[in-house]
Chain A
Amino acid sequence: MRTFMQFLLFMVLAIAVIVLAILLGDMGAWYFAWLVGTAMIVLIAAAGGVLLDTQDEHAAARRAAASADAR
């Protein structure tokens, strides 16, 4: 049931985005570009933060493995 509700929510969101794109695209592209662009900028910035954590964890794991080998 939960999966179905999530599916429904994302479908509604997807349709809303498509309808918005069609409506706003006809009347002028920049508002729509702002909506898409802002979402993209926010998500890429968020991904950058997650990537930093991953880089740190990999670096720490590499160093731990190297010091274990040295011993």
Chain B
Amino acid sequence: MHDIHVVDLSRLQFALTALYHYLFVPLTLGMSFLLAAMETVYVTTGREIYKKITQFWSKLFLINFALGVATGLTMEFEFGTNWSFYSSFVGDIFGAPLAIEGLMAFFMESTFVGLMVFGWGRLRRGQHLAVTYLVALGSNLSALWILIANSFMQAPTGAHFNPVTMRMELTSLSDLIFSHDAQAKFVHTSIAGYVTAAIFVAGVSAWYLLKNRHTELARRSFRMAVLFGALATVGVITLGDALGFVGAQAQPTKLAAMEGLWKTEPAPMPFNLVAFPSQQEHVNRGAIQVPYVLSLLVTHSLTGSVPGFDQLEQQATARIRDGIPAVAALQTLSAKPNDADALAQFQAHEKDLGYGFLLQRYAPDVTAATDAEVADAARDAIPQVAPVFWSFRVMVVLGLAMLAYFVMAVIYTMRNRVERKRWFLKLAVWMIPVPFLANEAGWLVAELGRQPWTVYGMLPTWMSASTHSVGYMAFSLIGFVTLYTVFIAIEMYLMVRTIRRGPDDDHAGVIPHDRLHADRLAGYAEG
């Protein structure tokens, strides 16, 4: 029997390492394509300023990339060290995308990053541009595979449980890769990275414009970043909706937690704009609702309805009872693999095996479980609502704020007047943390909302962890937090130092542009 404190500490450790890691990832995903856009202008127009722009932002990209790789490596090992049962249970499915992700990251991405950094002056323009595009593609394809693996945990497809080997096995690689959840999640996550990079580049450029430093680099970077970010934000919101739509089918409990839906209501359902969910009493306090909106958002119709926790708990109870014979048959099969009766019993109840596992936490011998133990297990099928509910709202509000910011930014930059809007430049600098917070909130929704499962409906979290001691987990947790905090401090220091220094030999080769800028300022002074 697992010590639940060890499970909680394992969850906390993975959550913290993932949240730390994810401070670096989105910038890599987005910055790589933004660099490709900058270098495309350099190659197509031949203007040296764009080479300088690309090289300057490449430095920041590299700092971020190095720390992203360092923080990501440990997570791959955590699956084996802290989640060994999970790894053995779904390793046949989870291992393949994880291995491909490693190949993408360490062979394609890292190789081409080396060429990108050291290739200036060694490769022809077109060749270097191709390398930059391959870095961008490699970064994002690396993310694709880890997100495919994550999507299997959210909505398992393309696999089945083999009662003889006692583990899940892959039945269709294409079902795994092309699952609706994987597609929507990858695009949503990748494009959220574009938004992050765009806000970062625009914010740093705005800081230069406020300080009247490196203005030619900053004006161009700002323009390109806001166009990049505006389009990407539209994409993120579209894909957020798609992901919600997919999630409504695949993970109804997550959707109910996101919306604070304790009771099933008839269509058209109202949307809880603000509420304070009470897990004990199964009610929302201080709810402010907008009529009709939930049905529209989740089902894209006014007649659609989604189940609340009252209905979902009843369904979980029924599935737990149906899962009892499956677990019992599995116990028989583990002792006698050729028992035909046990195999038939297992196959008849296989779809609810995971729910039987939920009950095992309270009743190791599931056949002797009491009604109270079944009710406890059914209550466990509901995630902690308040953190999911509020993380979702934080993500959405920040997403809409970024959209409004980019719309304003596009208007100002297309009028070529952004330098005169000092209040907006200050806002752009303050916007830098916003996408990072939105990204973290998004992952909290995805992972907290999936609870109590590591593989939704198949494998409960309580079973998935390794059997470490509390002391071991606490020690390694403190170690990781300390190490990763140092990493963040190093990243911040290097980033700030590089930004303060700006691009090297600032005025080389760009005199005509600086003159143009001086002319423009003279033009403003003349009105």
Interface residues of A (CB under 8 A from B): 27-31, 33-34, 37-38, 40-53, 55-57, 59-60, 63
Contacts and interface: CB of A to CB of B under 8 A. Distances in A.
Query: Which secondary structure characterizes the binding site on chain B?
Result: helix
Interface of B: 33-34, 36-38, 40-41, 44-45, 47, 50, 140, 174, 178, 180, 183-184, 186-187, 190-191, 194, 219-220, 223-228, 231-232, 235, 239, 242, 413, 416, 513, 516-517, 519-520, 522-523
Contacts of B183: 28-31
A53 B47 contact: yes
Given A30-B187, A38-B33, A45 B180 contact: no
Given A30-B242, A44-B227, A52 B190 contact: no
User: Which of A40, A46, A55 is the most central at the interface, judged by chain B CB atoms within 10 Å of its CB?
Assistant: A46
A46 to B, nearest CB: 4
A50 B224 CA distance: 9
Contacts of A50: 41, 44-45
Contacts of B37: 41-43, 45-46, 49
29 contacts: A28-B183, A30-B183, A30-B184, A30-B186, A30-B239, A31-B178, A31-B186, A34-B190, A34-B191, A37-B191, A38-B33, A38-B140, A38-B194, A41-B33, A41-B37, A41-B194, A42-B228, A45-B37, A45-B225, A46-B44, A48-B226, A49-B38, A49-B220, A52-B220, A52-B416, A53-B220, A59-B519, A63-B522, A63-B523
Contacts of A28: 178, 180, 183
A31 B44 contact: no
A18 to B, nearest CB: 19
Contact of A56 (B33, B140, B520): B520
A30 B238 CA distance: 11
A71 to B, nearest CB: 15
A46 B37 CA distance: 5
Contact of B227 (A30, A48, A53, A60): A48
Contacts of B523: 59, 63
Nearest to B190: A34
A40 B178 CA distance: 23
User: Which of B41, B180, B513 is the most central at the interface, judged by chain A CB atoms within 10 Å of its CB?
Assistant: B41
4 tightest Cβ-Cβ pairs between the two chains A and B: A30-B183, A45-B228, A48-B227, A45-B37
Given A34-B187, A56-B516, A48 B224 contact: yes
Contact of B50 (A37, A38, A49, A60): A49
A44 B225 CA distance: 10
A37 to B, nearest CB: 6
B50 A33 contact: no
B418 to A, nearest CB: 10
Given A55-B416, A59-B416, A45 B227 contact: yes
A49 B218 CA distance: 11
